[in-house]
Amino acid sequence: MPLKTEKIPLAHPLLIDLLKMAYSAEKAAAFAYQGHAASVKNKDEKAAIRQIEIDEWNHRREVLQIMEQYNVPVSRYYEVRFYIIGKMISMSCHIIGWFMPFYFAGRLESGNVCEYFRMKQYFNSLGIREHDKTLYEMGIKEKEHEVYFLEKIKTNKHLPLFEKLFAWGVFKSYNNIDLDKKYPVEDSDDYCRK
Ligand SMILES: [Fe+2]
Ligand SMILES: [Fe+2]
C-alpha cells in the first residue's frame, strides 16, 4: 500500500491566524503598490515600487506554501477585507500627493517586519525550525522595504509632523532590526520580542 503523506495540523491558533492574515495582507500590499507605482512620475521610483510589488507577490506565494503544508485554509474574510483595503489604498495614491503614499507605505512595512519574526517564534515554540530561513528572509525583505521608503522621505519637510502624529519615521520604528548590524538567522531570536 502506498504511504500517505499526512499533513500535520498546527496546534497554535495565533500562528494560524497570523498566516491567514499575512497571506491576504500581502495581496493588499501588492495592490497598493500597483497604484503607488502608477501615481509616481519618476522612473526610478516607479521601478523600485514595482519591484516591491513583486516581492509582496512572492511573499504571498511563500506564505501559501507554508499554509498548505499544515492544511491551513485561506480565509475568505481576510481575502475580501484586504482586497478592499488594497484597492482603496491603490486608488488613493492618485489623489493624496507624493509624500503620503511613501510615508504610509514605510509605516506599514515597519509593522510587517515583525509579523514574520513572530511567525518564526511561534513555529519555534512548537519545535518547528524548518521555516526559519524563509521567515527570516521575508522579515528582512520587509525591513528593506521600510528603509527604502524612509530614505525617500527622511529629509522631507512634512516628516517631523507625520512622525509626531503617526509614530513612525527617522526616530521611531515598529521593529528593532538594524540592517547595518544584521544578526544571522540563528541569532535572530531577539528580533521583535515584546
Ligand atoms: Fe511582504
Ligand atoms: Fe513589504
Measured in angstroms, how far is the CA atom of residue 171 from the centroid of ligand 1? 23
Task: Decide if 38 contacts 95 (C-beta within 8 A).
Answer: no
The length of the chain, given as a count of residues: 194
Ligand closest to 138 (CA) is 1
* CA separation, residue 32 to residues 19, 21, 64, 74, 103 (Å): 20, 16, 20, 20, 13
Cell of residue 24, nine digits: 491576504
Cell of residue 38, nine digits: 502608477
Average pLDDT over residues 147-168: 97
The three-state secondary structure class of 94 is: coil
Ligand closest to 32 (CA) is 2
Measured in angstroms, how far is the CA atom of residue 116 from the centroid of ligand 1? 9
Taking only the tens place, the pLDDT of each residue in 71-126 is: 999 999 999 999 999 999 999 999 999 999 999 999 999 999 999 999 999 999 99
Cell of residue 155, nine digits: 529629509
Contacts for 109 with CB less than 8 Å, ≥ 6 apart: 142, 143, 145, 146, 149
DSSP 186: G
Identify residue 118 by its one-letter amino acid code. Answer: R
- Rounded-to-integer distance, Cα 125 and Cα 21, Å: 20
Measured in angstroms, how far is the CA atom of residue 52 from the centroid of ligand 1? 8
Taking only the tens place, the pLDDT of each residue in 162-181 is: 999 999 999 999 999 999 99
